[in-house]
A and B are shown apart, each in its own frame.
Chain A
Amino acid sequence: MIHETAQSGLWARAQRTSVEQLHIRLESFIVLIVLSAIMAVLSPFFLSLSNFLNILLATSTIGVLAIAATYVIGSGGLDLSLGSVMGLSGVAGAYVAVNLGAPSPIGLAACVLAGAAAGYVNGQLITRAFVPAFIVTLGMLGLARGLALVISDGRVIYGLPAVMVYVGQGRPLGIPMPVIIFVITAIVAHCVLAYSKFGRHTMALGDSESAARAAGIRVERHRRILYTLSGALAGLAGMLFMARINSGDPTAGLNYELTAITAAIIGGTNLFGGRGSILGTMIGALIMGVLQNGLNLLAVQSYYQQMAIGAVLILAVFIDQYQVRKESRV
């Protein structure tokens, strides 16, 4: 009754390999390479080690948020509070270190803990009070931003201890610390999502909650963990930016939730859950980073940059849909 599909040729094989082993779609990677090549041709400043590190540095906060977005969206959820929680976390860490005079490690931990706490509240409200994720995290978007402004009195809290600043400005082996932290986080997040039980259950949950439930996965508990994790990652992003500018900025991360979601979607995450990978998301974030960096080098106005990113988003989803439809037309 079941027929072998007549898929052959190099492309098909490459595609299958990409899906099986790397959990990404090859197209996004090609777009990234092509885009980089174009930028290299157009700007003599593009191809340099320092610019490459610039791109990674500029992608680090958004990249960490995009990891969170991939997990939550992959599970069929949504976290609109990412950017605000990032802002809150940076302020919390700076407040603890500067105003309360706590030692650096505690200041750094305070960022992640503040983020995790916000995420934990999100998770509790979503799974126990049955308020939709969209509403809860939209509410948290306002709550966290407001709280950040209250704690900081609307001002940046400047003057972190040296150790904290090193986390943002240090360059061991010439590589900026935020880049190192970002890359390690991405690798761990990729392995967990692609190869661990927790990660696979996350995607299965986003795919079909009833299937996950039937398989004995504790759906509510899993969601609570995911939102807490999402908040903690937002906290990590907040920590990176705080350390970079040596201050807690209550307006940090404004609208970043949308940028993070964009990166995840360009990277092949299904907006309705069930599919996505960190490697794909990182490619998505880098596509945006390269585009922005290249256009900056060419001194193209930021308005056009926003248009370009919007266009890439739609194009990416178009290609994705095209492929998905092709696959299901077997």
Chain B
Amino acid sequence: MTLLTLSGIRKSFGAVDVLHGVDLSVDKGEVVGLVGDNGAGKSTLMKTITGIYRADAGSIEFDGTDVLPLDPGARRELGIEMIYQDLSLAKQQDVASNIFLGREPTRKLFGLFPGFIDKARMDREAASIIARLGAHLPSINRSVGSFSGGQQQTVAIARALTFNPKLVIMDEPTAALAVREVQGVLDLIRRLKSEGIAVILISHRLNDVLAVTDRIVVLRHGRADANLATARTSMSEVVSRIVGGGDLSAAAMHEQRG
């Protein structure tokens, strides 16, 4: 069942054309890798999906709704969630504060004054979301900044989950992680999939993309240049599509660079 359908998406900034008619579809519960060289238009494409950019032409249909005229807040309510590379975490606040930032459950202080945070409930719900992700954090009450990169990623994903998303877009979630933590994040992505949540994974780390995705879409010069089933492709094919056509020597070089 198709969740997201993009067709003929065009976007230019002044004289610079970034997207020249991108077609892309994502199924419910599908993990799609989005790869491409720097400047291929990955970020722009994702921001047109979340609504930060408005596409110049084309259509975006999400879960049966035309989302093109909707603003980012409305799209988020429909279930499109994005986790940026910087995670947008408030590093000195604790886990629950980050997960519920801006949407804290409130109660009345002494039954009189509104606008006070129901911290117990917030902690409880935060803990249950972390548990649902199968993750484990040192303490729910410690500042997020004292956590490792992978643990922070967990918090960011947990926050995304509280919006009940149908699609989570992740921008380079493994780029800054220690090797032993990468597996943990990939496990989280699989967990999302198992809950029926679709994921678009943007990454330069092709090993990770190959390990966790169902399908890989290669973006090149503002077009979806290739659409490969992960099970039937290989590292070298992906690399060659990224750098363009059958230039295998360049592909080998790119691969070496990792």
Contacts and interface: CB of A to CB of B under 8 A. Distances in A.
Contacts of B119: 195
Given A200-B117, A327-B146, A2 B136 contact: yes
A64 B66 CA distance: 54
Given A207-B93, A211-B90, A2 B180 contact: no
A191 B86 contact: no
B150 A197 contact: no
Given A1-B184, A330-B138, A197 B115 contact: yes
A222 B16 CA distance: 37
Contacts of B148: 2, 330
Given A196-B116, A197-B115, A200-B104, A4 B93 contact: no
A270 B90 CA distance: 14
Q: Give the contact-size bracket for chain B.
A: 35 or more
B101 interface: yes
A16 B139 contact: yes
Q: Describe A's contact surface by its main secondary structure.
A: helix
Q: Give the contact-size bracket for chain A.
A: 20 to 34
A204 interface: yes
B135 interface: yes
A275 B92 CA distance: 7
A207 B102 contact: no
B180 A1 contact: yes
Contact of B184 (A2, A5, A217, A327): A2
Contacts of A191: 109, 116
B101 A217 contact: yes
A2 B135 contact: yes
Given A195-B116, A196-B115, A328 B90 contact: no
B89 A208 contact: yes
A328 B101 contact: no
Interface of B: 73, 84, 86, 88-93, 97-98, 101-104, 106, 109, 115-117, 119, 135-139, 141-143, 145-148, 150-151, 154, 180-181, 183-184, 187
Interface of A: 1-5, 16, 19-20, 191, 195-198, 200-201, 203-204, 207-208, 210-212, 214-217, 270, 274-275, 327-328, 330
7 contacts: A1-B151, A191-B109, A204-B97, A214-B84, A327-B142, A328-B145, A330-B147
Given A1-B187, A207-B90, 19 more contacts: A2-B136, A2-B151, A4-B136, A195-B109, A196-B115, A196-B116, A197-B106, A200-B117, A201-B101, A203-B90, A204-B93, A208-B91, A211-B89, A212-B90, A215-B88, A217-B102, A274-B90, A327-B143, A330-B147
